Structure 1
Amino acid sequence: MTGKIVAVSQQKGGSGKTTLSAHLAVALQPLGRIAILDVDPQGSLGEWFEKREARLGEEATGLTFRTASGWGAKREARTLARDHDLVVIDTPPKSDLDARYAVEAADLVIIPIQPSPVDLWASEATLTMVERENVPALFVLNRVSARSSSAKAVIEAIEKLGRPISEARLGDRVAFAASMGIGSTAMESEPGSKAALEALAIAMDVKRRLDV
């Protein structure tokens, strides 16, 4: 049975794609074999995995890691899906071509978005790709401040577009950056914390939408 492929895509840099990709991959490990595919030339997911491997050992990361670019992203994702239950792709910002191949391969596209109009505008290119390939998409609010008043406006704007947005969201929490810096996740470094519970809630929403 072929595994599912999730592409985390957003044209705006600094949207939290890599953090969300890593947390989804680790949170969904109970599904079985999980692979992560870094298509971003910046290589942040690869750096995270290297730190994880150095800390835990090669056999204890719980993940398979690969890189690809251009049309190779689609091919590599589908190859990984043959013997993995889930493949999570971290796509590059500002690169329609590389992101497009990842979207073409995906069963679901996750669009992380900070609660700001700028992030919403930047999502238009990703939505265009999603619509062209007829792939289901899910917006996920990221770096939401407890004092933020802009999240509601962004949610309403997304709903007007007729696109689903997860009820779960990632707060603006130090735990995410701190855990990523050591090749970990909030679930592992601070289990039971608000950050950990938020990431798990998003993962469960993704799992439900993938029907796995």
Structure 2
Amino acid sequence: MAGYVFTLAQQKGGSGKTTLAAHLAVAYALAGKTVALLDTDPQGSLGEWFEAREARLGEDQAGLAFRTASGWGARREARALRRDHDVVVIDTPPKSDLEARPAIEAASLVIVPIQPTPVDLWATDPTLELTAKERVDALLMVNRALRRAALTGAMIAQIHTLGHRVADSALGSRVAFAASMGDGRTVVETQPSGIAAGEVQALADEVLKTADELAG
């Protein structure tokens, strides 16, 4: 059976797609799954993280592979990777329907991170229109949430009105995420017993459960 393809997509830059892609991939790999990361963002931040990871942990990344692709090549690469991996996680560039469309078309599920601000919420519409056009299910999730901010609660309520699945799991606004990425790792490795790692694991489990349910 072919694996799942999880595409991270959001038109607005700075939504945390790359950090989220790396964290989900590592969480699945540490759970014993074979995982491939596919970077379709010309900026290449995910590739830089993976190189830093190899420099720290060695080139033999058991259970975790990395590839790059651009344009329509992303769809072909994703379909090839899913034949040999349990999970393929794709990072896409912002502000580009042309680059994101092939990765969305190849997805089992599109994960749309939204920071809880009005601007981020408004910027989500083009991504959701694209997932609807490609007839791919989307899972919205709150990223970089300030737990005690009144705005966060109000924005989460508005996200639920968009007519798509909304993850119960959310990632908080924590320095630990960026710190671990700069080290070529993730919070699941640097602080495995911490709150941030718990958030990542909960989201990874929910994404997989949602994909299972959609697959029937």
Q: TM-score, normalised by structure 1?
A: 0.97
Task: Tell me the alpha carbon deviations over residues 9-64 of structure 1, each in whole angstroms, 9 at most, x when there is no partner.
Answer: 00000000001000110111225210000000111110110011111111135311
- 2:25 is aligned with 1:25: yes
Identity rate of aligned residues, in percent? 59
Letter in 2 for 1:203: A
**Partner secondary structure for residue 21 of structure 1:** helix
Shift of 1:161: 1.7
Q: Which amino acid aligns with 1:24?
A: L
Report the secondary structure of 2:166's partner residue.
Answer: coil
Residues 1-212 of structure 1 mapped to structure 2, 5 A cutoff: 1-29=1-29, 30=31, 32-60=33-61, 62-211=63-212
Q: Which stretches in structure 1 are left out of the alignment for 5+ residues?
A: none
| Matching residue's letter, 1:14 | G
1-structure distance, mates of 2:189, 2:135: 35
For 2:150, what is the secondary structure of its paired residue? coil
**Counterparts of 2:170 and 2:62, CA distance in 1:** 25
Q: Distance in 2 between matches of 1:161 and 1:46?
A: 33
CA contact (8 A) 2:33 2:63 kept: no
2:201 partner amino acid: L
**RMSD between aligned alpha carbons?**
1.2
* SS of residue paired to 1:204: helix
How many aligned residue pairs are there?
A: 212
Letter in 2 for 1:155: I
| Deviation at residue 154 of structure 1 after TM alignment | 1.9
Q: Find the aligned partners of 2:19 and 2:63 in 1 and give their Cα distance.
A: 17
Given that 1:52 and 1:61 are in contact with CA atoms closer than 8 Å, whether structure 2 keeps it comes out as no
- Give the 4+ runs in structure 1 shifted more than 4 A: none
Give the secondary structure class of the aligned counterpart of 2:148.
coil
Gaps of 5+ in 2: none
Mark the CA change 1:129 to 1:103 in structure 2 (over 3 Å): closer, same or farther. Answer: same
User: Mean Cα displacement is larger for which, 67-76 or 157-166?
Assistant: 157-166
Preserved contact between residue 39 and residue 89 of structure 1 (Cα < 8 Å): yes
- Aligned mates of 2:49, 2:19 — CA distance in 1: 9
Larger mean Cα displacement after TM superposition, 156-165 or 78-87: 156-165
Q: Is the 8 A contact 2:40 2:93 kept in 1?
A: yes
Supply the AA of the counterpart residue of 2:195. K
Residue deviations 1:145-175 (CA, integer Å, cap 9, x gap): 1331112222222222211111111111111
**Is the partner of 1:150 in helix, strand or coil?**
helix
